[in-house]
Amino acid sequence: MTTLINGKEIAQNLRDSIKKEIEDLKSEIGKVPGLAVVQVGNVAASSIYVKAKTKSAKEVGIDVIDHHLPEKTTQEELLKIIQSLNNQDNVNGILVQLPLPKHINEQIILDSIHPNKDADGFHPLNVGKLSIASNNNENLLIPCTPYGCLIMLKGLGVELSGKNAVVIGRSNIIGKPMAQLLLKESCTVTIAHSKTKDIQNICQKADIIVAAVGVPKMVKGNWIQKDAIVIDVGINRIEVEIEGEIKNKLVGDVNFDEAKLIASAITPVPGGVGPMTIACLLRNTTMAFKNTLK
């Protein structure tokens, strides 16, 4: 029987435990974590993500400081706002929603966020800490989507050590930190990407596949080894014909209908990795807050 990994439920449990932790902190010290959410411009997908992140943060008791800035905001203006958030004691986490408008250099902006307030775990110092730290992930600010994938993998209760893991995609946000997290679990990690030769053959040797490539249904059933675990990070909108009508449908990077017949466990799209990303953002913000109390 294939296990359908229920990201919605795992994320709900994580949010519940964060909410309880924040309630306890509030009654002990009278303070709650604060998260600044910065959006520049009006990219539709970003607006949806920012709304969902804000709503979830408020639900667990995090104070949200919202900065929705016009598209024409200059890099200097944005840097000034981040500088000011870096200096505000009531702000423990800063999230700048990506992508930023073309005239702003994303890396300069990410570098300007104080590493202790880096709710996304994208600052070079936190990227470096993730690759160096040999301990568990306690205290680290870790990119939210890959951390969510790791929590789902660990929740399966299978030994990760020694497993062949293939990560498809090499982005700074997902692929690279995912590989680091799996390496820390003593997996043998391969990162496949657009220039990789014979990707199907590489995937066929994987005990764990994490697909984060942004190509709808790229990973076919015959790419997957019997009883492999498949984590699908892709969120792709495609058009399908249903009863003579063209409709939009969300699909992952994995051909789910084929893969579910072969994998031992698989995440659906939607309802798999997606909800975990936001839950891990709340975890990072709470972690950053707790780090200030030490």
C-alpha of 62 from chain center: 19
268 upstream amide cis, omega within 30 of 0: no
Rank residues 52 and 156 by Cβ distance to ligand GUN and give the closer one: 52
Is-catalytic flag, 120?
yes
Q: Which residue is nearest to ligand GUN, using beta carbons?
A: 98
253 binds ligand GUN (CB under 6 A): no
Smallest distance from the beta carbon of 145 to ligand GUN, in angstroms? 6
Candidates 21, 118, 120, 207: give the one binding ligand GUN (CB under 6 A). Answer: 120
285 binds ligand GUN (CB under 6 A): no
Candidates 39, 145, 180, 284: give the one binding ligand GUN (CB under 6 A). Answer: 145
The pattern of x and - marking residues 223 through 252 that bind ligand GUN according to CB under 6 A reads ------------------------------
Smallest distance from the beta carbon of 249 to ligand GUN, in angstroms? 20
Contact by Cβ (8 Å): 212, 233: yes
Candidates 22, 104, 144, 279: give the one binding ligand GUN (CB under 6 A). Answer: 144
Candidates 18, 57, 60, 96: give the one binding ligand GUN (CB under 6 A). Answer: 96
Rank residues 45 and 261 by Cβ distance to ligand GUN and give the closer one: 45
Please classify residue 265 by burial: count the beta carbons closer than 10 Å to its beta carbon, then call 0-12 exposed, 13-18 middle and 19+ buried: buried
Is-catalytic flag, 97?
yes
95 binds ligand GUN (CB under 6 A): yes
Is-catalytic flag, 232?
no
* Distance separating the N- and C-terminal Cα atoms of the chain: 46
Catalytic residue, chosen from 39, 117, 118, 120, is 120
Smallest distance from the beta carbon of 166 to ligand GUN, in angstroms? 22
Contact by Cβ (8 Å): 205, 224: no
User: 167 has which bridge partners?
Assistant: 191, 210
Q: How many residues bind ligand GUN (CB under 6 A)?
A: 9
User: 109 has which bridge partners?
Assistant: none
Q: Which residues are catalytic?
A: 53, 97, 120
User: Which residues contribute to the site for ligand GUN (CB under 6 A)?
Assistant: 95-98, 120, 144-145, 173, 277
